[in-house]
Amino acid sequence: MVRYVYDFCEGRHDMADLLGGKGANLAEMTRLRLPVPPGFTVTTDACRAFLGAGVEPEGMSDEVSRHLSALEDSAGRRLGQQDDPLLVSVRSGARFSMPGMMDTVLDIGLNDDSVVGLAEMSGSDRFAWDSYRRLVQMFGSTVMGVDAARFEEAMTRLKEACDAPDDLYLDANDLAGLVETYKQLILDETGQAFPQSPAEQLRLAILAVFRSWNGERARLYRRREQIPDDLGTAVTVQRMVYGNLGADSGSGVAFTRDPATGRPGPYGDYLANAQGEDVVAGIRNTVPLTELEHIDARSYRQLRDHMATLERHYRDLCDIEFTIERGTLWMLQTRVGKRTAEAAFAIAAELVEEGQITPEEALARVSGEGLARLMFPRFDADATGEPLAHGLPASPGAAVGVAVFDSAEAVRRAETGEKVVLVRQETTPDDLPGMVAAEAVLTNRGGKTSHAAVVARGMGKVCVCGAEDLAVNTEARCFATPDGTVVQEGTVISVDGSAGAVYAGAVAQVASPAMRYLETGERTDGVTAAVAGALEQADSVRRLEVRANADTAEDARRARRFGAQGIGLCRTEHMFLGERRKLVEEMILARTDAERDRALAALLPLQRQDFTDILAAMDGLPVTIRLLDPPLHEFLPDRTELAVRVAATQARGEQPDPLEAELLEAVNRMHEENPMLGLRGVRLGLVVPGLVAMQVRAVAEAVVARTRAGGSPQAEIMVPLVGAVEELRIERTEVARVLAEVSEESGVPVRCPVGTMIELPRAALTAGRIAEEAEFFSFGTNDLTQTTWGFSRDDVEAAFFSAYLDKGVFPASPFETIDPDGVGRLVRIAVDEGRATRPGLKIGVCGEHGGDPDSVHFFHTAGLDYVSCSPFRVPVARLEAGRAAL
Ligand code: ADP
Ligand code: MG
Ligand code: MG
């Protein structure tokens, strides 16, 4: 029989699929004998069944009742019991943490009667009514669907009427009045009364949490974090403990290390006389966790002990929610905490140093995406000037953008390509779209564990929070600094998330420490040392080689500094541009062989020099040179412009320039409706006489020049867009002829492997045949994706990809992350059949995917020998190739 409910003492941390992260870790803390209020968890199975069928699965509610009875027995009181009520929280918790994205309801079990009992038992009327108004507010918004803002408005009105700067100034009477207001609000808005039956409250809250899995913000968050939509959430029901019982009570959030920098030591926020939600919501200003030592030394000591226990147990940074009820500490949540890229590298290295984890484990805990983030530029310390304001450095990095004051505006402007900084008093889950759109988030309230900080760190966005000096006015769409400077919406500001500072205008940027390390090997701080260690570890375990796509000697040199083991794709088309265009034009327009040969002869020394330089920069390492790929008309003037020019001349009754007329005639002749599928790649070589010979001669002569100079050139010649082995056979004969010719002439034997790109489905499907002629394969996954899906990349991305992503046709653009089922299948077929013909066939990939983490893992599994990517992605690919091999 399926079981839908587990008591905390029955679960374990490795049951997160079933119990959600929160439920599993509460169970784990219970096993570790930490002080956890008792409770039980309804499984994700139950959630999926409920969401699928629209009704609770059979047996679930009986199981819930049984576990509730046990909870009541252990507490010695019943849920909502009139004279001494047991109260519970109903908490959401999915497999992957989705901070604040789903619902939680506290203080379930209170009603018009039990609130009186709670007041008597606790000796505090204020506490009882504060708890009741929290329940009605949370229940009203999350379960009954009343807009949360309506409750906030009522609260604000009351505070104004009572002249109360914050909710602590409201007394029991005020709060009792507020409960009435809230109840009326619910009735007006929904036509239904707030339910007085505790059992009904519990049941409705559980179902509401299930439903919140499909709430809009939860869905948006999942899409962004690539969390599958079909996991469902678990629901945890837990005895309440009260942080709002007076000055000797409170709630807090703690991290065992700084999640922004990774520095060891306690870190977090504490708020006296508050329930948990208040800390994260930034409603009142929190105090730093270390202050707790002066407020309640005993609880602080216990908390530090528990933090140490958890970090040792999980062998990682943990974040923790806790509550102190009249001097007694309770642990309410823990998990392996989210962290910035900087902290991920620093903590992993530190834990290795402490002997807690192995270097392999450390490598598993960092990511290529994180490394890419560390390579972004920083603000130039000499160019910053006086900051407009200081806040908390909640998520590091440098961001420049225009200030905007709400989520919708951020989205609107970002869609037009503008870079924006979202400025809010504090953020709520409703601000998520704006945070996704923004470069940085700036708030004037809330601590380093506020919503803004947690979410920004999770997304790798820059964040400065709690900039209390700023007067943020979202109505007037501006903020003011203490000296009276007013910054209006649309003004450019710079946000330094590492220093916690905000500047007017766009501050100049410099290379980051990680970038300096990659460029020079210089290790300037702990994070760079950690990056260096991770890369060394990756290099020692990876099987995939990493090459770079580079067309110039300068790119080749940079790639080499970044650790590239050769060039996987050297495109020759840029060598046909600029001043050389004229020569190319002559070649294309040549009427006689002699004319064409003259043009080609003029191009030859230029190409030779390009190749010589690149081979020098990559001396000793393979350089894969691709013969010309794009259709030739790309090198001719624009057809429409030219036609207009010629027509205008004729309209003036003048004779068109004969050269122009001839050019137009040629452009018209060569025009293609679908150039991507037209005369390009190997097809050019087969129909344009002399082109391949010139290119191969340039390569061969460059090899000769480098050899004579004492170098060790390793040129490889790659034929693009082959679909049939015959194409390659013909082209290869020509290549071999020219190589032999140059060897003969120079007396230097030139041996260049000749291979092909696999970038058409037909090439992949006939790879066994193609391998008869190819000494290596390189997957051109950009074209292979285009031709497999029938997507024109230049057209589809803007036209409908975002709709496709929304509708879940694919989880990520297949141009960014390889489509494993379709394009990936072709890759596997080609690898298998290619190697069946030619064992040991060298196989790489040179599409954009070569630098994409998920794709790198795929290529590792598919058995490729190397990936090739842009120079800046080389360190990322090295790291991910290492992680793939773990
Ligand atoms: P989230 O996933 O958004 O953090 P939680 O389920 O953790 O939601 O609950 C929100 C807040 O309520 C947290 O601060 C949590 O510590 C607090 N809380 C949850 N359950 C209890 C409880 N039984 N007693 C006291 N506070 C609780
Ligand atoms: Mg929580
Ligand atoms: Mg291609």
The structure's pTM equals 0.85
- Rounded mean pLDDT, 864-883: 96
Pick the atom of ligand 1 nearest to 37's CA: 23
SS (H, E, C) 502-568: EEECCCCEECCHHHHHHHHCCCCCHHHHHHHHHHHHHHHHCCCEEEEECCCHHHHHHHHHCCCCCEE
Nearest CA to ligand 1 atom 20: 89
Ligand nearest to the CA of 280: 1
Assembly ipTM: 0.97
* Residue the block writes with tokens 């808005």: 189
Residue 804: φ, ψ to 5°? -65, -40
Residues ≥6 apart with Cβ < 8 Å to 107 = 87, 89, 131, 132, 134, 135, 138, 240
Share of the chain above pLDDT 90, in %: 77
Q: What gap in Å lies between CA 347 and CA 369, rounded to an integer?
A: 16
Strands across the sheet containing 39-42: 5-7, 39-42, 233-239, 88-94, 104-108
Q: Which residue has the higher pLDDT, 455 or 355?
A: 355
Q: What gap in Å lies between CA 638 and CA 668, rounded to an integer?
A: 10
In DSSP terms, 535 is beta-bridged to none
In DSSP terms, 392 is beta-bridged to 465
Whether residue 101 is predicted with pLDDT greater than 90 in this model: the reply is no
Q: Give the environment of ion ligand 2: residues with CB less than 5 A.
A: 333
CA distances from 400 to 23, 297, 489 (A): 40, 43, 14
Strands across the sheet containing 250-257: 287-288, 264-272, 250-257, 318-325, 328-336
**CB-based burial, 287-296: b 16+ in 10 Å, e otherwise:** bebeebeeeb
pLDDT digits over 57-67, tens only?
999 999 999 99
Which residues approach ligand 1 with their CB closer than 6 A? 37, 89, 91, 100, 104, 106, 238-241, 275-277, 321, 323, 332-333
**Which of 378-382, 477-481, 851-855 bottoms out in mean pLDDT, i.e. has the lowest?**
378-382
For position 764, what pLDDT does the model report?
98
Contact 67, 89 (CB under 8 A): no
Return the CATH fold of 69-239: Acyl-CoA Binding Protein (1.20.80)
Neighbouring C-beta atoms of residue 578, cutoff 10 Å: 8
For position 282, what pLDDT does the model report?
67
In DSSP terms, 264 is beta-bridged to 257
In the residue annotation, 463 being an active-site residue is answered as: no
Nearest CA to ligand 1 atom 6: 91
What tokens were used for 788?
């497999």
CA torsion 653-655-657-662 (nearest 10°) is 110
Mean pLDDT of the chain: 93
Share of the chain above pLDDT 70, in %: 100
What tokens were used for 26?
């509460």
Q: How far is CA 765 from the centre of its chain?
A: 34
Q: Residue 205 C-alpha to ligand 1 middle, in angstroms?
A: 14
Pick the atom of ligand 1 nearest to 332's CA: 16
* Residue the block writes with tokens 């707030």: 194
For position 677, what pLDDT does the model report?
93
Whether residue 622 is predicted with pLDDT greater than 70 in this model: the reply is yes
Ligand nearest to the CA of 630: 3
pLDDT digits over 725-751, tens only?
999 999 999 999 999 999 999 999 999
**How many residues does this entry show for the chain?**
886
- Rounded mean pLDDT, 761-770: 98
Contact 51, 213 (CB under 8 A): yes
- The alpha helices in 333-447, defined as continuous H runs, are 341-353, 359-364, 368-374, 407-415, 432-437
Nearest CA to ligand 1 atom 15: 276
- Going by pLDDT thresholds of 50, 70 and 90, the confidence category of residue 851 is very high
- Rounded mean pLDDT, 626-637: 89
pLDDT digits over 547-568, tens only?
999 999 999 999 999 999 999 9
**Which of 87-96, 649-658, 725-734, 764-773 bottoms out in mean pLDDT, i.e. has the lowest?**
649-658
- Rounded mean pLDDT, 239-245: 95
Contacts of residues 112-120 at CB distance under 8 Å and 24 or more positions apart, as own/partner, are 112/196, 113/82, 114/80, 114/81, 114/82, 114/85, 114/198, 115/179, 116/82, 117/81, 117/82, 117/83, 117/84, 117/85, 118/84, 118/85, 118/87, 119/172, 120/83
Pick the CATH number of 542-631+672-884 from 1.20.1050.10, 3.40.640.10, 3.20.20.60, 3.40.470.10: 3.20.20.60
Ligand 1 site-directed mutation target among 135, 235, 332, most atoms within 8 Å of CB: 332
- Rounded mean pLDDT, 616-645: 91
Pick the atom of ligand 1 nearest to 101's CA: 3
Q: Residue 373 C-alpha to ligand 1 middle, in angstroms?
A: 32
Q: What gap in Å lies between CA 44 and CA 19, rounded to an integer?
A: 6
Q: Which residue has the higher pLDDT, 235 or 590?
A: 235
pLDDT digits over 687-706, tens only?
998 999 999 999 999 999 99
**Identical topology for domains 250-336 and 376-510:** no
Ligand nearest to the CA of 846: 3
* Residue the block writes with tokens 């906030």: 152
Which class is domain 376-510? alpha beta
Q: Which residue has the higher pLDDT, 44 or 648?
A: 44
Q: Which of 846, 849, 857, 869 is catalytic?
A: 846
Would you give the DSSP letter of residue 338? P
Closest CA to 811 of 368, 222, 366, 367: 222
Pick the atom of ligand 1 nearest to 88's CA: 23
Whether residue 495 is predicted with pLDDT greater than 80 in this model: the reply is yes
For position 640, what pLDDT does the model report?
87
For position 54, what pLDDT does the model report?
94
Ligand 1 site-directed mutation target among 40, 105, 106, 244, most atoms within 8 Å of CB: 106
For position 188, what pLDDT does the model report?
97
Nearest CA to ligand 1 atom 13: 276
Would you give the DSSP letter of residue 476? T
Contact 3, 62 (CB under 8 A): no
In the chain, where the domains are located: 69-239, 250-336, 341-372+513-530, 376-510, 542-631+672-884
In the residue annotation, 451 being an active-site residue is answered as: yes
**CATH H superfamily, domain 250-336:** ATP-grasp fold, B domain (3.30.470.20)
